[in-house]
Amino acid sequence: MSDPAVKLKGLTKTYGEGALAFEALKGIDLEVARGEFLMLVGPSGSGKTTLLSILGCVLAPTRGEGFLFSEPLHGRKERELPELRLSYIGFIFQGHNLLPALTAEQNVAFPLELRGYSHRAALAEAREVLGAVGLEDKLTSHPDALSGGQRQRVSVARAIAGRPPLILADEPTASLDAQTGAQVTTLLKDLSTERGHTVIVVTHDSRIFHLADRTVHIEDGRLVPPPVKE
């Protein structure tokens, strides 16, 4: 039995100090199996981005324990986080977050070079994953020459490039129409299954819930049972 992709025990996150302290996560217990496609759902301000930021090694937790593929997240110095992030995480943002001055293939290749790929190897991998998302004819297009759905497909390609084991997506369909949002999410799901990524998607978008292996609800910094349907 291999360890889960994610294991959290009593995880908390407090922003600020003293009278201004705000506890955004109030004790999260969560396990995510390897290969699972999980959706994290909750109202605005409930702590979704905070939780994703801790899993993505952008923020350190305040208390409790967290493990990514058995690597502890707690008790780390802030300066150790970027290295963990580069080894384990692919991130898809709400806005596509592509660099406008770079072409599609450069946008995908650039983070690979940060991970130690040679320029040539990074470009080869970028072209392969852009092919996998159906953009083989847009390799040298800049983001402003692409549709919203195409830009979000470049973001998917960038996240899966180099095969990071955990893909985190923060409201990836928020700027897309319903049909395009469902297409991009289906593509992400199919590629993850094929390539063995674990995926956590934060979303408000009830039209993509059915694609999840499991849906987890968060309210006011705590995981809660799903709301009862009317």
Ligand X SMILES: Nc1ncnc2c1ncn2[C@@H]1O[C@H](COP(=O)(O)OP(=O)(O)O)[C@@H](O)[C@H]1O
Q: Which is nearer to ligand X, 55 or 132 (CB)?
A: 55
Cβ-proximal residues to 114 (8 Å cutoff; 6+ apart), any chain: 86
Q: Which is nearer to Mg ion, 52 or 191 (CB)?
A: 52
For position 78 contacting ligand X by CB under 6 A, the verdict is no
Single out the residue of 61, 91, 60, 66 nearest to residue 78, CA to CA.
60
Number of residues in contact with ligand X under rule CB under 6 A: 12
The item of Mg ion, ligand X, none sharing an interface with residue 46, based on CB under 5 to 8 Å by kind, is ligand X
The item of Mg ion, ligand X, none sharing an interface with residue 2, based on CB under 5 to 8 Å by kind, is none
For position 21 contacting ligand X by CB under 6 A, the verdict is no
**What is the H or E stretch that residue 26 is in?**
strand 22-32
The item of ligand X, Mg ion, none sharing an interface with residue 204, based on CB under 5 to 8 Å by kind, is none
Helices of type H across 13-147: 48-55, 81-88, 104-114, 119-132
User: Closest separation between CB of residue 72 and ligand X, Å?
Assistant: 22
User: Closest separation between CB of residue 50 and ligand X, Å?
Assistant: 3
Q: Which is nearer to ligand X, 59 or 133 (CB)?
A: 59
Stretch 23-62 residues interacting with ligand X (CB under 6 A)? 24, 42, 44-50
90: alpha, beta or left, given left = phi > 0 and alpha = psi -120 to 50? beta
For position 206 contacting ligand X by CB under 6 A, the verdict is no
Q: Is 227 helix (H, G, I), strand (E, B) or coil?
A: coil
- CA 126 to chain CA centroid, Å, is 18
For 99, 166, 167, 178, the CA distances from 211, given in Å and listed in that order, are 29, 17, 15, 14
Q: Which residues here bind ligand X, judged by CB under 6 A?
A: 15-16, 22, 24, 42, 44-50
